[in-house]
Amino acid sequence: MVNFRFHLVSLTAVFLALAAGITIGAGVVDRATVDRIERQLAQVEANRRQTNAENDQLAGDLSRWGRFSEEAGNAMVEGRLQGVGVFLIAVRGVDRKPIEGFTGSLRAAGATVEGTLWFTAKWLLAEEQDLRQLSGLLDVAPTTPPDDLRAGALARMTTAWGAGDGGTFIVALRDAAFVEFEPPAVPVAPLAQLPAANAVFVVISSDGAEVPDAELAHPLVAGLVAAGVRVVAAQPVPPPLPPSQRKPPAPDFVSVLRGDRDLAPRLSTVDNLDDYRGRIAAVLAIQGASQGRSGHYGFGPGAERVLPEVAP
């Protein structure tokens, strides 16, 4: 006869077996988990070493490019723009340093740098006074919408340049602080007489421009091309953003121009003016423009080559 003591002993044995099984199973699972984590840590360490090695290689390459640019200087472009006039246009907010380096390359190439015309933030037409001033210069109603005022002023400017006469309108824009003119150390001519005949226009903008490209730099380039003048559009490489500020990038100044089927064949672009290779590409692009050639250079979307083909 099975008594209570038998049942108690049996139940105790079952629970002891369960406890032993759980203990043994837990030990096996924990060991497998530990092994997996150790393998993952080893892989992470291997990836870290590989990344460090790649970073060291890239840093070495960058250092060698820096030495190359310092030692080569502007030897590649010396004399290539002899007798070519260059009229620089930039938008306030664009970093001056790449423009200054580029200007040095232009002078080494023998170009006649006629000066730099800076477009100011007044082109935003955010203030009533700015609206009144620009409408007065255009002799239109002060109630004219800002976009129409801006387009009218750019059209008048580019048409005058296309006819070879910037004239009094550019001077009036300067006097009203819509533009600021920086002549070279030895002035070529008064602003009203610039740019000289057959000069190449170089329009420079960037993500930092105080007036959005869609409102100023893009229609300015389109107007210049339509006016029949020779145009090179350039930009520095956009700086990297911290992870917290990263978002899908908007098309930059040069990319939009390259994507315009009507404009792209009629001008040249350079997307890395802050880089030694970009400065050389821009000088050679100006040489090509003065000889009726065009192309798109650099490393960004739509670039055809790093450098233009070197003419003899």
Can you tell me the mean pLDDT for 278-292?
96
Provide the percentage of residues in the chain whose pLDDT is more than 90.
Answer: 66
Residue 50 buriedness (CB in 10 A; 0-12 / 13-18 / 19+):
exposed
Q: What is the pLDDT of residue 111?
A: 97
**Displacement of CA 142 from its chain's centroid (Å):** 35
Can you tell me the mean pLDDT for 222-237?
96
| Best mean pLDDT range from 11-15, 30-34, 297-301 | 297-301
Specify the residue for token string 């065009």. 294
What does DSSP assign to residue 302? T
SS3 183: coil
Give yes or no for residue 15 having a pLDDT over 70: no
Rg (CA), the chain: 32
Give yes or no for residue 69 having a pLDDT over 60: no
Ramachandran class of 307: left when φ > 0, alpha when ψ lies in -120 to 50, beta otherwise: beta
The helix/strand count (H/E) of the chain reads as: 8, 7
Cα angle 17-18-23, degrees, rounded to a multiple of 5: 100
Q: Please list, in sequence order, all residues whose beta carbon lies within 8 angstroms of the beta carbon of residue 128, skipping any fewer than 6 positions away.
A: none
Residue-wise pLDDT for 234-259, tens only, equals 999 876 655 555 455 567 999 999 99
Residue-wise pLDDT for 303-312, tens only, equals 999 999 876 6
As a whole number of angstroms, the distance between CA 94 and CA 186 comes to: 24
Cα angle 149-154-158, degrees, rounded to a multiple of 5: 155
Can you tell me the mean pLDDT for 187-199?
92
Cis peptide before 312 (omega within 30 of 0): no
pLDDT band of 70, cuts 50, 70, 90: low
As a whole number of angstroms, the distance between CA 93 and CA 191 comes to: 22
User: Which structure tokens are listed for 73?
Assistant: 């200087």
Q: What is the pLDDT of residue 71?
A: 47
Cα angle 115-78-277, degrees, rounded to a multiple of 5: 80
State the CB neighbour count (10 A cutoff) for residue 251. 13
Q: Return mean pLDDT, the chain.
A: 86
Provide the percentage of residues in the chain whose pLDDT is more than 70.
Answer: 78
- Say which amino acid occupies 230: R
As a whole number of angstroms, the distance between CA 166 and CA 127 comes to: 26
pLDDT band of 168, cuts 50, 70, 90: confident
Q: What is the pLDDT of residue 159?
A: 93
Specify the residue for token string 């672009």. 269
What are the E-state strand segments in the chain?
A: 85-91, 112-119, 179-182, 200-204, 230-234, 268-270, 296-297
Residue-wise pLDDT for 79-131, tens only, equals 999 999 999 999 999 999 999 999 999 999 999 999 999 999 999 999 999 99
pLDDT band of 6, cuts 50, 70, 90: low
Among 221, 237, 240, residue whose Cα is nearest residue 229 = 221
Can you tell me the mean pLDDT for 12-34?
61
